[in-house]
Amino acid sequence: MMSDMCGTEVRSNTTQTFHNACRNYTSLLSILIKSRQHNDLLHSLSLKKRKMRYLIYVLMILAACGQKEKVKTNPIVGKWEYERIERYSGEAINLQDSLFKALHTAQTGLCFSFSKDNVFKVTQKKPGGTEEFIAEQPYELPDSTKILCLKNTSKSDDNFSIIDLSDSILKINVFYSKEAYMVFRKEL
């Protein structure tokens, strides 16, 4: 009986060990499956992160391009102060000539302001730092032309030739002269 008991007992221990091993294997398999799912999830998140980074980079590039277009403004917009009179020939203006000296003196302190809302304003700086308002009216400056058009209500529009326009210099003929034009410097 002992042998039967021992045999049964041995079988019982072997079965129990087998069951324990199966449980351990199942637990291990479950952990491995969860680990694999976790790795798949991490891989998926990693891919999503890469896609998100790519999307962010693309959006940043598009935003930067869009900002450049918004920043681009009409170069005439701003405040310009009279600096001097120049001749078309390149010859210097003789300020010893009483006519040119009087014209230059009358223009000193003259400021042209152009708003982005197409409003042209003229002021004159006086000694002591005050500014005197002279005039204000709408203006147009088509991109393709170098003609400044001041819009008038009671008479025909005034059209002035722009000789040169940069970020800092405005050369404009407001005298309708074939000899000279005015030079303005942009105030910062």
Among the candidates 51, 72, 93, a domain finishes at 72
* Whether 121 and 58 share a structural domain: no
* Whether 123 and 143 share a structural domain: yes
Question: Distance between CA 106 and CA 29 in Å, rounded?
Answer: 96
Looking up tokens 């999503």 gives: 48
pLDDT for the residue 1 = 46
* Whether 102 and 131 share a structural domain: yes
Instruction: State both tokens at 45.
Output: 């998140």
pLDDT for 139-163, tens place per residue? 999 877 799 999 999 999 999 999 9
* Whether 88 and 48 share a structural domain: no
Has this prediction a pTM greater than 0.75?
no
Among the candidates 42, 72, 102, a domain finishes at 72
* Whether 96 and 65 share a structural domain: no
pLDDT for 28-80, tens place per residue? 545 555 556 555 655 665 656 666 666 566 667 777 776 555 455 788 999 99
Question: Which residues, at least 6 apart from 183, have a Cβ–Cβ distance to it below 8 Å?
Answer: 82, 83, 84, 85, 86, 169, 170, 171
Range of the domain at 51: 1-72
**Proportion of the chain above pLDDT 90, given as a percent:** 47
Question: Which residues, at least 6 apart from 110, have a Cβ–Cβ distance to it below 8 Å?
Answer: 81, 82, 122, 123, 124, 125
* Whether 29 and 46 share a structural domain: yes
Counting the structural domains of the chain, the total is 2
Among the candidates 72, 88, 106, a domain finishes at 72
pLDDT for the residue 2 = 47
